[in-house]
Structures are given as structure tokens and as C-alpha cells.
Amino acid sequence: MEGPFIRIEDTGMLVALREDVTTIGRGDAVDVRLSDPSVSRLHAEIVRRGPYAYVTDLGLSRNGTRVNGRLVARRVLDDGDVLTFGSARCRIGGIARDDLTAEVELRRSAAPELTRRELDVLTSLFRPAQSDEAFVAPATAREIASDLVVTEAAVKQHLLRLYQKFRIPEGTNRRVRLANEVVALGLVRPLPPTGRPEPWTPQAMPEDIPASATIRAEVHDRRAS
């Protein structure tokens, strides 16, 4: 099959990805229908942008979406990635592979395991980068608490655990350093340019923040629809 496709492991069926958005779920009207009861009716989407494709968990199922065994909110896909929607396994194919150095691959494999709530906190942390403003900073603990409808104290506890998991030492701009480490590990990857000014540029951050850490968050809005 030419072009990007998804393979349903249980049946071996190949489904070509649409040019824009491919829907995945248990419902009758989705593009990739999975019969597993752990899959929600509208579970996830695979979005194509030029040569890239990324999967987005729609937050409508308790079982979530995993890429190569790791729970994700949104993740750019590589050829051969294993996608798990609830308990249903699929594999992505036909995607041109970027040239990644051994160092990048090693760092990605060292990424810590995250709980669903920790992933929610990271999602909210990156949310300001989805705005149309040219320069933005990561969300504050208060903003994250408001977004997730939890207490600020609970958010701070989650952030402390994330700092420990990603080995972010104490000091200034700790949330920014956490955000940059998440990008460096490949858990969140910048989307292809769309002509809009990139947020979190060096002019907006202290000099010790590398230009390579410029971020346009690739996270999905998990607020209930």
C-alpha cells in the first residue's frame, strides 16, 4: 500500500490514512473501526500535516491511547510505531522516517513512565503554546489547577513528582526547564511550521534556554466536551 497506513493487528487489515484526519474508535461512523469493548466510540484521531502524522487521544475513554507502550495525549508518529487504543493494538506504516541521532533515540528510550494525571498536568502546562501569541510561557500552577478543576496544592505535588522524574534541579524557570526536557525526550515534539511565529523563542526566555527548545505544544485539549 502506498502512503501512510494503519494495520489492525487482530485482523491484519490495512487502512490508508486520510489526507487530513483519520478517526479511530468503536462507533459505526469512524474510519478505523475497532470492535474491542475497551475502545470508546470515538477514541482517537490521526492527523496528517505534510510528511508528518500525529495521533491524538480524544480523552473520551478511561483506557487512553499508548504509543509503544507509553500513555500519550498527542504524539508525532514514526514508521513502525505500535498504537494501543484501550486493549486494541495497531501499527503505523508508510511514514517517511526522520534522521535521528543515536543520542536522541537513547534519550527517548530513557523517558520516565507517566501516570494519566501527570500527563494531564503536562498537557495543561503546554496549553499556552496553543495560543496565537508570539511569545508565551508555560502555564502556572494556578492556571493548571483552574484548567483541570483541582486544587493548586494538588498541581504543585504533581509538578514536584514530574521534576523528580525528569531530574529537573531546583532553581529559577523550573517549569520552563521541565517543558524543554519533555521536548528533548521526544514526549512532545514541535509540529511542522505553519507560518505562525514560534512561541517560546530565545528573546522571550533567559539566555540559558537553548533555541532548539522552542516549542509549539503538540498536546491535546483534554477538557471534557
Quick one: 42 exposed, middle or buried, by C-beta within 10 A (0-12, 13-18, 19+)?
middle
Q: What whole-number distance in Å separates Cα of residue 29 and Cα of residue 8?
A: 17
The pLDDT value given to residue 161: 92
Quick one: 202 exposed, middle or buried, by C-beta within 10 A (0-12, 13-18, 19+)?
middle
Amino acid at 170: E
Question: Treating both helix axes as pointing N-terminal to C-terminal, what angle do 116-126 and 152-165 enclose, rounded to 10 degrees?
Answer: 100
Q: In what order do the strands lie in the sheet with 52-57?
A: 32-33, 21-25, 44-49, 52-57, 74-76
The pLDDT value given to residue 215: 36
The pLDDT value given to residue 142: 93
Q: Is residue 58 very low, low, confident or very high in pLDDT (cuts 50, 70, 90)?
A: confident
Average pLDDT over residues 137-155: 91
The yes-or-no verdict on residue 85 having pLDDT over 90 is yes
Q: What percent of the chain has pLDDT over 70?
A: 71
The pLDDT value given to residue 211: 33
Average pLDDT over residues 160-180: 88
Average pLDDT over residues 58-86: 87
DSSP 53: E
Which is higher by pLDDT, 42 or 205?
42
Which is higher by pLDDT, 87 or 191?
87
Which is higher by pLDDT, 195 or 186?
186
Average pLDDT over residues 106-128: 74
At 159, give phi and psi (nearest 5°): -65, -40
Neighbour tally for 15: CB within 10 Å: 17
- Residue pLDDT, tens place only, 93-115: 998 876 555 445 545 555 677 88
Q: What is the pTM of this model?
A: 0.52
Mean pLDDT of the chain, nearest integer: 76
Cβ-defined contacts of 7-12 (< 8 Å, 24+): 7/90, 7/91, 7/92, 7/93, 8/32, 8/34, 8/88, 8/90, 9/88, 9/89, 9/90, 9/91, 10/36, 10/88, 10/89
Quick one: 203 exposed, middle or buried, by C-beta within 10 A (0-12, 13-18, 19+)?
exposed
Which is higher by pLDDT, 142 or 50?
142
